[in-house]
Amino acid sequence: MKLYYIGTICSDETFNNITNKSKVKPSISAQVFEDSLLTGMNENKNIEISAHTFLTIASFPNGYKLFIPPRKEMLKSGISTQWYPTINFAFLKQWGYCISTFFSLLYWLIKNIDENDKVIFCCSIFSFIARPVTFLAKIFKTETCVIVTDLPKFHFSLRKPTGMKKIFSNHFLNSQIKYQTKFDKYILLTRYMKDELGVSDKPCLIIEGIANKNLFITNEKYNNLKKEKAIMYAGMLNKKHRIEMLIKGFMLTKNDFELWLFGSGDFEKEIKEYVKSDKRIKFFGRVNRDVVLEYEHRASLLVNIRDSKEEYTKFSFPSKTIEYMACGTPLLTTKLPGIPDEYYKYCYVLENETIDGLNKTLENILSIPYDELLDKGKAAMNYIFNNKIAEIQGNKIIEFLINK
């Protein structure tokens, strides 16, 4: 099978350049997910992948590049990807990506016109990509598949655009909704996404997430470390993600554990104030991913306490859930509708989603014997490595694509 892949993946060097030189930082979770996805699919020798990237760099001047060239670079997965060129100005950028996708895909389809077993595979339903993909796929009678990690309707749930940005954002959102049903096959993270997207009558595969192969190496490096007395959260530090509740619940605990916070977001200023009032709280900011992975192994407990009553949790599987479980450190989470019940055998669950409830839950978990905590973490790690690693998930995806 030949596969034309469209995503946002880039090399670590490129990603670090964008992060360090741009005012608006890119998402690490998308980078990690696509790296795992391509690694898993590339393990299968029955597929030939032609990868292409539209860089998710903020528009100039918030992003450091004014022009994105047609550059080719090698990825950790062993696959090379070709950048789509464009002018990095708002609105012009999207049309540039649309035109670049059209001509690149057209060339690939003509080149492989006699190949019966081929698929166009997209890692998003952005309309500027979906438009040329669905148009050319129809002409060349080629199957399309899209992987949907977030529903379009929730794209602006964290930051509400205003003014002209609101007009463009509404257009962007409406055009995505228009194209969300136009693909042939769908790979989704939760079962609830099918009905919400309106594709319950089309072939769908639910995969939740993919454990990055590099975590094996990380585990070998850090798993013999003595756990430190620390609770850790790494990710978006937004009020919406209950960071304040986590801090207040922790501050009520009567022990010598520390709270480690990694990441960036709209709650950073408040976090710095809390650090002044409780020396046990340590704020690291946004750091290199290798540093985060090391600290995840050193911590005694990892925490992710999203509000289970929020609508978006039905259509979302937190990427950090699999990462946390894969590193062998116990996880405390809320019971989210988008996470299958089988996962909760290997996690601690916050039943009472209040500051007082969190405080009591933390006190209970931290009083558990050290060896028992280790066993809980190792059971979670084994579950992930036996069921959700890149090679296993990649083979599921390839089988799904092959079956007509």
Q: Which amino acid is at 290?
A: D
Give yes or no: residues 37 and 181 share one domain. yes
Strand boundaries in 75-226, DSSP class E:
80-83, 86-87, 118-122, 143-148, 185-188, 204-206
Region 28-32: what's the mean pLDDT? 88
Question: What's the pLDDT tens digit per position in 230-285?
Answer: 999 999 998 888 999 999 999 999 999 999 999 998 899 999 999 999 999 999 99
Confidence of residue 176 (pLDDT cuts 50, 70, 90): confident
Give yes or no: residues 258 and 323 share one domain. yes
Q: What is the pLDDT of residue 59?
A: 87
Give yes or no: residues 247 and 189 share one domain. no
Residue 75 has pLDDT above 50, yes or no: yes
Give yes or no: residues 260 and 279 share one domain. yes
Give yes or no: residues 204 and 301 share one domain. no
Q: What is the largest CA-CA distance in the chain?
A: 69
Burial category of 82 from C-beta neighbours within 10 Å (exposed 0-12, middle 13-18, buried 19 and up)? middle
Region 152-176: what's the mean pLDDT? 60
Q: Are 133 and 144 in contact (CB under 8 A)?
A: yes
Tokens of 363: 């006190």
Give helix then strand counts, H and E, for the chain.
14, 16
Give yes or no: residues 187 and 231 share one domain. no
Q: What is the pLDDT of residue 227?
A: 87
Give yes or no: residues 162 and 222 share one domain. no
| Residue 23, domain extent | 2-211+389-402
- The CATH number linked to 148 is 3.40.50.2000
Question: What's the pLDDT tens digit per position in 111-163?
Answer: 999 999 999 999 988 889 999 999 999 999 999 999 999 887 665 444 555 55
Of the listed ranges 5-14, 127-136, 310-319, 337-346, the one predicted with least confidence: 310-319
pTM (2 d.p.): 0.90
Residue 166 has pLDDT above 90, yes or no: no
Give yes or no: residues 138 and 224 share one domain. no
Give yes or no: residues 103 and 200 share one domain. yes
Question: What's the pLDDT tens digit per position in 364-376?
Answer: 999 999 999 999 9
Give yes or no: residues 207 and 220 share one domain. no
Cα–Cα separations (whole angstroms), residue 63 to 12, 87, 89, 91, 127: 17, 12, 9, 14, 21
Give yes or no: residues 35 and 72 share one domain. yes
Cα–Cα distance for residue pair 195/197, rounded to 1 Å: 5
Beta strand pairing call for 331-334 and 348-350:
parallel
Q: Are 147 and 126 in contact (CB under 8 A)?
A: no
Give yes or no: residues 58 and 82 share one domain. yes
Cα–Cα distance for residue pair 360/255, rounded to 1 Å: 12
Domain count, the chain: 2
